Chains A and B, each alone.
Chain A
Amino acid sequence: MKLKRKRLPPVTGTEQKEHNDHRRWNLRLYIAGRTLKAAAAIANLHVICNEQLKGKYRLTVIDLAKDPELARMHQIIAVPTLVRTSPLPERFIIGDLSNTERLLAGLDIA
């Protein structure tokens, strides 16, 4: 896991120092180029995070068009895919995250 994280490129300014705190939310969003769906997903995610997880999350946006190897490494085939790496268990949500209620349920934020 640590090795993989080292290779993660920092993308957004919302990144904070990493903690192993189980209440800290580690999120990764995989996109493939700046498409409409990608933009929508990022926007939708930002809304939720700022509303519900302010200061408690770390979001990494990974553009597979720039780093194609990561698709294989992380077994991603659909975009956009949101992965919650912590708290465990790992969760995968695919789509542009347009349904806020389902997103909250999917990420187990309530």
Chain B
Amino acid sequence: MEKKPEQKFRKTLPKSPTSISGLDEITGGGLPKGRPTLVCGGAGCGKTLLAMEFLVRGAMIHHEPGVFISFEESEKELSANVASLGFDLDKLVAQKKIWLEQIRVDRNKIELNGDFDLEALFIRIHLAIESIGAKRVVLDTIESLFSELPDPMVLRTELRRLFRWLKRKGVTTIVTAERGEGAFTRQGLEEYVSDCVILLDHRVSDQSSIRRLRIVKYRGSTHGTNEYPFLIDEDGFSVLPVTSLGLNYFSSHERISTGIPRLDTMLSGKGYYRGSTVLVSGTAGTGKTSLAAKLVESTCTRNERVLYFTFEESPNQLVRNMRSIGINLEPWVKKGILQFHATRPTLYGLETHLTTSIKLINKFQPDVVILDPINAFVTAENQTEVKAMLLRLVDFLKMKRITAFFTSLTAGGENMENTEVYVSSLIDTWLLLRDIEIGGERNRGLYVLKSRGMEHSNQIREFRLTNQGIELLDVYVGNEGVLTGSARLAQEMKDSAEQLVLKQEIGRKQYGLKRKRDAMEAQIVVLRSEFEAEESEALKVIGIEKARDERYSQNKAKMAKSRKGDAFHKDPDVVKSNSKRNRRSL
């Protein structure tokens, strides 16, 4: 059910694509085909260029020849003007894809006498269209006729007739006009050309210019209603419909290393999420750029591409400075995977910065984008605008799954976190670098203020820049708070001295124990030898006694024999019982 009206709608309102970067997106496909479109704006806001690009791209991309009727500039001037944008108008004219025609009227020579019309102009436009079979027509500042020809009433009627006539011819027309006071155009052309009105604006705020485009009206079609920043550069016209982006980007689970192993560990062991937005803030000289350089190093080592916007240092200086902490960026620049863009923040307005950045990003297709530092843009009163710009940039980067790394210089003081409230909501991972002043020293501390979607360390690490690179050290947390630098070293030395004493004590105790054991064992040996001596003495005595007893028995028997008084055969028993008695007495 819903599809049908849409198809019908497309049928009734065909569009003529401009192929101008971004413009087709906000017009929903281009300008109304076969109808006139009014492009108005002040002097120098790019009306002629927009119209010319519409023709050139139409001729080159869509094979629709175009007629450019200029009421101001000559054919030569036009060719020269767009040559700087890379359009070879002369060639297109020679190929009969573009028809240039200047309409020159000299007011001073003209006198009015009676009734007239602009039929000759119609004839000229008709001839031009027929000569090359044009589908597109530009009338560049047709309003200047009002200052060159008498009788505005007749001109009005004739212009109305002209636009109707062009519509009947079915050519897509752009009519440019100067912005008037209180109206879109000086002569009220918007009354006649009412199908589509595009307003270009060129404002100066804070000494830098901002170009903006707005579609005031588009009959029979939906369109973006915001003011869109646009840019005119060497590639021509480009509009950025960035505010139309939603919050529906894909979130990656992939992680990329920060380039510092211990920092990876602090971010649950793996580093930043790919496509996330990282902010490093800190006071001056805390090493923000060094952290950025580390990320560059790790990214380029993986052969991924980095686009580095630097707003305060020149690329040369940056490369030199990073070499001093052991990071050599030059090979990657030469290899073409690292590109620097150094611009002064004040060079042009925020919108232009944004559009330039996005163009560069589209061209270079990086994996990581670094903005160093973002607060270079911030002046006293433009915080909300800076936030809006960063929001657009962050959205854009997230859509493209590019990791963004911003640095921000904070003024110091107590509320370092508060000073950047205006961007904090955009940030996924926020690292804070801060000075820790103890014992007449200034050292750097790093901690993770927040990191969405991961468990992260809550500890402060001491952050050291050495000529070998960046080191993250444990800080000493004791009764006196966080100790860093020399204070930490002193504490560590104290700790190690205490440990030494303890070690010695243990050694001494073990030695004492050993000595005691030795003494005990020596005593055992003495006792045993005493015992052995006694034992052998005793055995000796026993032997002697035994021998004596035997000898006694023998003697007794001998005596009995010699006396011959007792029965001899009983004798052995007697001897036996005697010897038994003797042994028992022992």
Point out residues on A near B: beta carbons under 8 Å: 30, 32-33, 35, 37, 40-41, 44, 64-65, 68-69, 71-72, 75-82, 89-99, 102-103, 106
- In the complex the two chains form, is B116's CB within 8 Å of A37's CB? yes
Interface centre among A81, A91, A95, A98 (most CB of B within 10 A): A95
User: Contacts A71-B127, A72-B127 given: A90-B109 contact, CB under 8 Å?
Assistant: yes
Measured between beta carbons, the chain A residues less than 8 angstroms from B103 are 75, 77
Residue-wise interface mask of B (196-216) relative to A, using a CB-CB cutoff of 8 A (1 in contact, 0 not): 000000000000000000000
- In the complex the two chains form, is B117's CB within 8 Å of A78's CB? yes
Number of residues on chain B facing chain A (CB within 8 A): 26
- Asked if B421 lies at the interface with its beta carbon under 8 angstroms from chain A, I say no
- In the complex the two chains form, is B120's CB within 8 Å of A64's CB? yes
Measured between beta carbons, the chain B residues less than 8 angstroms from A94 are 110-113, 116, 149-150
- Asked if B104 lies at the interface with its beta carbon under 8 angstroms from chain A, I say yes
Residue-wise interface mask of B (123-154) relative to A, using a CB-CB cutoff of 8 A (1 in contact, 0 not): 11011000000000000000001000110000
Q: Could you say which of B113, B119, B120, B145 contacts A102, with CB atoms under 8 Å apart? A: B113
User: Contacts A37-B115, A75-B104 given: A68-B123 contact, CB under 8 Å?
Assistant: yes
**Distance between Cα atoms of A98 and B150 in the complex (Å):** 16
**Distance between Cα atoms of A91 and B109 in the complex (Å):** 5
- Asked if B105 lies at the interface with its beta carbon under 8 angstroms from chain A, I say yes
Give the distance to chain A from B125, nearest Cβ to Cβ, in Å.
Answer: 10
- In the complex the two chains form, is B101's CB within 8 Å of A72's CB? yes
- Asked if B114 lies at the interface with its beta carbon under 8 angstroms from chain A, I say yes
Measured between beta carbons, the chain A residues less than 8 angstroms from B122 are 32
Give the distance to chain A from B68, nearest Cβ to Cβ, in Å.
Answer: 13
Measured between beta carbons, the chain B residues less than 8 angstroms from A96 are 113-116
- In the complex the two chains form, is A32's CB within 8 Å of B120's CB? yes
- Asked if B342 lies at the interface with its beta carbon under 8 angstroms from chain A, I say no
- In the complex the two chains form, is B105's CB within 8 Å of A75's CB? yes
Measured between beta carbons, the chain A residues less than 8 angstroms from B117 are 37, 78-79
- In the complex the two chains form, is B123's CB within 8 Å of A98's CB? no
Give the distance to chain B from A50, nearest Cβ to Cβ, in Å.
Answer: 18
Give the distance to chain B from A64, nearest Cβ to Cβ, in Å.
Answer: 5
- In the complex the two chains form, is A72's CB within 8 Å of B124's CB? yes
Point out residues on B near A: beta carbons under 8 Å: 101, 103-106, 109-124, 126-127, 145, 149-150
Measured between beta carbons, the chain A residues less than 8 angstroms from B127 are 68-69, 71-72
User: Contacts A37-B116, A68-B127, A72-B101 given: A77-B121 contact, CB under 8 Å?
Assistant: yes
User: Contacts A68-B126, A71-B124, A78-B149 given: A33-B119 contact, CB under 8 Å?
Assistant: yes
**Distance between Cα atoms of A98 and B115 in the complex (Å):** 8
Measured between beta carbons, the chain B residues less than 8 angstroms from A77 are 103, 105, 118, 120-121, 124, 145, 149
Can you name the residue of chain A whose Cβ is closest to the Cβ of B114?
A: A95
**Distance between Cα atoms of A106 and B150 in the complex (Å):** 15
- In the complex the two chains form, is A71's CB within 8 Å of B120's CB? yes
Can you name the residue of chain B whose Cβ is closest to the Cβ of A96?
A: B114
**Distance between Cα atoms of A80 and B105 in the complex (Å):** 15
A-B pairs, 7 with minimum CB distance: A95-B114, A32-B119, A98-B114, A96-B114, A77-B121, A95-B113, A68-B127
User: Contacts A33-B119, A71-B124, A78-B149 given: A99-B105 contact, CB under 8 Å?
Assistant: no
**Distance between Cα atoms of A94 and B113 in the complex (Å):** 6
**Distance between Cα atoms of A82 and B553 in the complex (Å):** 188
User: Contacts A64-B123, A72-B101 given: A99-B113 contact, CB under 8 Å?
Assistant: yes
Measured between beta carbons, the chain A residues less than 8 angstroms from B145 are 77
Can you name the residue of chain A whose Cβ is closest to the Cβ of B128?
A: A72
Q: Could you say which of B111, B115, B118, B121 contacts A93, with CB atoms under 8 Å apart? A: B111
User: Contacts A68-B127, A90-B109, A92-B109 given: A30-B114 contact, CB under 8 Å?
Assistant: no
Interface centre among A77, A79, A90, A103 (most CB of B within 10 A): A77
**Distance between Cα atoms of A92 and B113 in the complex (Å):** 10
**Distance between Cα atoms of A63 and B191 in the complex (Å):** 33
- In the complex the two chains form, is B123's CB within 8 Å of A32's CB? yes
- In the complex the two chains form, is B111's CB within 8 Å of A92's CB? yes
**Distance between Cα atoms of A37 and B116 in the complex (Å):** 7
Q: Could you say which of B104, B105, B111, B126 contacts A106, with CB atoms under 8 Å apart? A: B111
A-B contact pairs, 7 of them (CB 8 A): A41-B114, A71-B120, A72-B101, A77-B121, A78-B120, A96-B114, A102-B111
Can you name the residue of chain A whose Cβ is closest to the Cβ of B117?
A: A79
Measured between beta carbons, the chain A residues less than 8 angstroms from B123 are 32, 64-65, 68, 71
Give the distance to chain B from A109, nearest Cβ to Cβ, in Å.
Answer: 13
- In the complex the two chains form, is A89's CB within 8 Å of B120's CB? no
- In the complex the two chains form, is B120's CB within 8 Å of A30's CB? yes
- In the complex the two chains form, is B101's CB within 8 Å of A79's CB? no
Measured between beta carbons, the chain B residues less than 8 angstroms from A97 are 113-114
Can you name the residue of chain B whose Cβ is closest to the Cβ of A90?
A: B109
Measured between beta carbons, the chain A residues less than 8 angstroms from B119 are 32-33, 35, 64, 78-79
- In the complex the two chains form, is B114's CB within 8 Å of A79's CB? no
Measured between beta carbons, the chain B residues less than 8 angstroms from A32 are 119-120, 122-123
Can you name the residue of chain B whose Cβ is closest to the Cβ of A100?
A: B113
**Distance between Cα atoms of A24 and B118 in the complex (Å):** 30
**Distance between Cα atoms of A99 and B114 in the complex (Å):** 7
Can you name the residue of chain A whose Cβ is closest to the Cβ of B150?
A: A94
Can you name the residue of chain A whose Cβ is closest to the Cβ of B102?
A: A75
**Distance between Cα atoms of A87 and B105 in the complex (Å):** 20
User: Contacts A64-B119, A72-B101 given: A93-B124 contact, CB under 8 Å?
Assistant: no
Measured between beta carbons, the chain A residues less than 8 angstroms from B112 are 93-95
Can you name the residue of chain A whose Cβ is closest to the Cβ of B148?
A: A77
Can you name the residue of chain B whose Cβ is closest to the Cβ of A32?
A: B119
**Distance between Cα atoms of A75 and B126 in the complex (Å):** 15
**Distance between Cα atoms of A79 and B120 in the complex (Å):** 6
- In the complex the two chains form, is A80's CB within 8 Å of B116's CB? yes
Q: Could you say which of A76, A92, A106 contacts B120, with CB atoms under 8 Å apart? A: A76
Give the distance to chain B from A14, nearest Cβ to Cβ, in Å.
Answer: 20
Measured between beta carbons, the chain B residues less than 8 angstroms from A78 are 116-121, 149
- In the complex the two chains form, is B111's CB within 8 Å of A91's CB? yes
Give the distance to chain B from A49, nearest Cβ to Cβ, in Å.
Answer: 15
**Distance between Cα atoms of A72 and B145 in the complex (Å):** 16
Give the distance to chain A from B318, nearest Cβ to Cβ, in Å.
Answer: 58
**Distance between Cα atoms of A80 and B115 in the complex (Å):** 8
Measured between beta carbons, the chain B residues less than 8 angstroms from A102 are 111, 113
Measured between beta carbons, the chain A residues less than 8 angstroms from B101 are 72
**Distance between Cα atoms of A44 and B117 in the complex (Å):** 17
**Distance between Cα atoms of A32 and B125 in the complex (Å):** 14
